[in-house]
Structure formats: C-alpha cells, structure tokens
Structure 1
Amino acid sequence: MFYSKQRGSALIVSVFIITVMAAFAAAMIRIDWSGQDMTSREVFATRAWFAAHSGNEYVLSKLFPLGQKASAPDACSEGKSSDSKTYTVNASLFQCKEVKVVCTRHKYGSGTPTSYKYQLESSATCGSGKFATTRIQETWAKDLK
C-alpha cells in the first residue's frame, strides 16, 4: 500500500530536472550568441578604424608628396574659392564601404608664402544591418616654415 502512493514521484522529479537543464541550455546558448555578436562588432569596428586611418594617410600623401619641401595646398581645394575637398577612397581591402575624407585648409600666420593648416576628417563604415559600425578620425597637419 505504501508503494502505490509513491508511483508518480519519479516522473515529477524527472520533468523538473529536464526543465531545469533546458533552462540552463537556453542560458548557455544566449551567452554564446551574445559573445559571437560582440566579436563580430569588434571585428567590424577594427576594420572601420583602420580604413578611416588609411583614408587620412592617403590624403596626407597627396598633401605632402615625397620629394617636395612644401605642401601641395591645392590638394585640399576644389577651386580658387574653395578651401575644402572631399576624397572618396575604395575600402574593399577592408571589406568595408567607401571611406570619405574631407580635407579643409586654413590659413595661419602672416608672411610669404602663405602657410596652411590642414584638417582631415575621415569616416569609414564596415558591416551591414545591425553590425554596421562607423569610425571617424580627425587629423591635423601644417606647413613648416
């Protein structure tokens, strides 16, 4: 008679254990997915940072060409009345969208020849959808007298 009262307890304990294990498994899957999501974002952020840095270096090479003692101020000018120029650099090497670099020149000091300061602002976006990451870098350079 005592045995017949305990017949369903093993079933209840096993259902409870299965439920608890399923909850643990779901939590572990969520933690793993979150880690993969974060890793993807970090990779795209690093690619965007290096792409933006490369964009600034590309424009700096236009401003200060090898073998010249002075800068090339026309590299930051669309025309006579403009003191700004936008460059678009292909970033497929980084598996990113294009990199845009805005170069602005500012006169400084007095004297001949005119001296300039250059402000470069580079923007790069890598990834797509919820993983799209943008990095912006600003660089300043100036002529030396």
Structure 2
Amino acid sequence: MFYKNAYRKQRGGALIVAIFVIVVMSLMAAAMIRIDWSSQDTTTREVLGTRAWFTAHSGNEMMLNLLFPIGVSGANATVCNGSSAFTPANNYNCRATVTCTPSSVSRAGSTMTTFYLESTATCGSGALQVTRTQETWAKDLQ
C-alpha cells in the first residue's frame, strides 16, 4: 500500500524535467545560431577588407605606372593632377580614388620632384562597407 501512494505523488515529475530540457536546449541552439551569425559577419568583413586593401594597392600601382612609364626616362608629371577614380576589373563592388600630389624638393643645388600618392578603396555597401587607405611616396631621379 505504501508504494501505491508514493507512485501517485511522483506523477508529472518527468514532464517538468522534459520541459526544462527543452527550454535549455532551445537556449543553447539560439546561442549557437548567434555565434554562427557573428562568425559569418566577421568573415565577410575580413574578405571585404582584403579586397579593399588590394584595390587600394592596385590604385597606387596604376598611378605609378602612369607616372613612370616603362621605356621612358623620367616622370610623366602631367598625369599627377589631383584625384582620379579607379574601378578594378574584378569589381566585387569595390571602387578607389587615387590622389597624386607633386612637390619639389631642393637639395645640394638641384631640384627633385617627389610625388605623394594616396589611394582610398571602399568595398561592400550598407552596413558591410570597408575602407582601406594606402600611401606611397615616389621621386623622379632626373
């Protein structure tokens, strides 16, 4: 008789444990989804940052190729006239602006022309937009 009464008092205990397990597992699943989303966001920003860095680098290289053409002695200073827009061939929603600033430096009785290049590239759009800037100094040896 004692066992029958004890059994009746324990009814529904498994239901409470089951609800507790379901709630805890749901919270764990929500946390894992949040971590996964955060990881994807970080990876996207890293990829866009790398693309922006290489686009800025390409912008400076493009301007250096225009300033110092192969087979020509000296700099072609006429191309250094402020800012110019640059869009790479593999666009990936990237764009760059290259600014060229010439300046003359006098040293030991001779004048040397230096060029300051600054390339600012932006990749992505909206909340996922990344900007990178690279600076380069070049000088004409003529």
Same fold (TM over 0.5): yes
CA gap 1:101/1:119 in 2 versus in 1, 3 angstroms: same
Name the structure 2 match of 1:26.
Answer: 30
CA gap of 1:18–1:144, structure 2 versus 1, over 3 A, is same
- Aligned: 1:70 with 2:74: yes
Among 99, 102, 120, the alignment partner of 2:99 is 102
Alignment match, 2:113? 116
Work out the CA distance in 2 between the residues paired with 1:26 and 1:130. 23
How many correspondences in the alignment?
A: 137
Give the residue type in structure 2 aligned to 1:142: K
C-alpha deviation, 1:91, in angstroms: 2.7
> 1 CA distance for matches of 2:52 and 2:72?
31
Contact 1:47 1:94 in 2 (8 A): no
Q: What is the TM-score normalised by the length of structure 2?
A: 0.90
1:62-94 per-residue CA deviation (whole Å, 9 max, x = no partner) reads 1101001211111213xxxxxxx2111123514
Q: Name the amino acid aligned to 1:34.
A: S
Unaligned runs of 5+ in 2: none
Please identify the structure whose Cα radius of gyration is greater. Answer: 2
Gaps of 5+ in 1: 78-84
> Counterparts of 2:89 and 2:77 in 1: how far apart (Å)?
28
